[in-house]
Amino acid sequence: MTTPISLPPLSDEQRYLFDLQGFLILRQVVPAAQIKRANLAMERLEALSDAEFPPRVVLGSPRTAANLYISNLLESGAEFDDFIDVPAVLGVIRGVIGTQFRLNHAYSITRHETGFTGLHMGGTPLVPQAPYAVLGGSIYSPLTKAVFPLLPCRSEDGCFAAIPGSHKSSFRRPWGDHPQQNPALVPVIADPGDAIVFSEAMTHGSMVNTSGRLRRTLYFCYSQAWTTDWTSQGLRFSNELLARLVPDRRALLALADGAGSAPVPMRYLD
CATH number reported for the structural domain that contains residue 221 in this entry: 2.60.120.620
- Look at residue 5 and tell me if it is in a domain: no
DSSP codes, 186-198: EE--B-TT-EEEE
- Look at residue 50 and tell me if it is in a domain: yes
User: Averaged over 40-69, what is the pLDDT?
Assistant: 94
* pLDDT value at residue 7: 86
User: Averaged over 235-256, what is the pLDDT?
Assistant: 90
Domain interval for residue 121: 12-268
User: Averaged over 131-159, what is the pLDDT?
Assistant: 96
Mean pLDDT, all residues of the chain: 91
* pLDDT value at residue 4: 47
- Look at residue 121 and tell me if it is in a domain: yes
* pLDDT value at residue 204: 97
Q: pLDDT grade, residue 128 (50/70/90)?
A: confident
The answer to whether the bond into 125 is cis (omega within 30° of 0) is yes
The set of residues, in sequence order, having a beta carbon less than 8 Å from that of 254 and lying 6+ positions away, is 102, 225, 263
Residues 230/105, Cβ–Cβ less than 8 Å: yes
Q: pLDDT grade, residue 232 (50/70/90)?
A: low
CA distance 254 to 229: 9
* pLDDT value at residue 235: 74
pLDDT digits (tens, 9 = 90+) for 103-118: 999 999 999 999 999 9
Q: Is the pLDDT of residue 1 over 60?
A: no
- Look at residue 211 and tell me if it is in a domain: yes
- Look at residue 72 and tell me if it is in a domain: yes
- CA-to-CA separations, 263 to 7, 237, 260, in angstroms, rounded: 16, 14, 9
- Look at residue 181 and tell me if it is in a domain: yes
- Look at residue 256 and tell me if it is in a domain: yes
Helix (H), strand (E) at residue 140: strand 138-140
Q: Is the pLDDT of residue 264 over 90?
A: no
* pLDDT value at residue 234: 62
pTM higher than the cut 0.75: yes
CA distance 257 to 249: 17
| Number of domains comprising the chain | 1
* pLDDT value at residue 227: 84
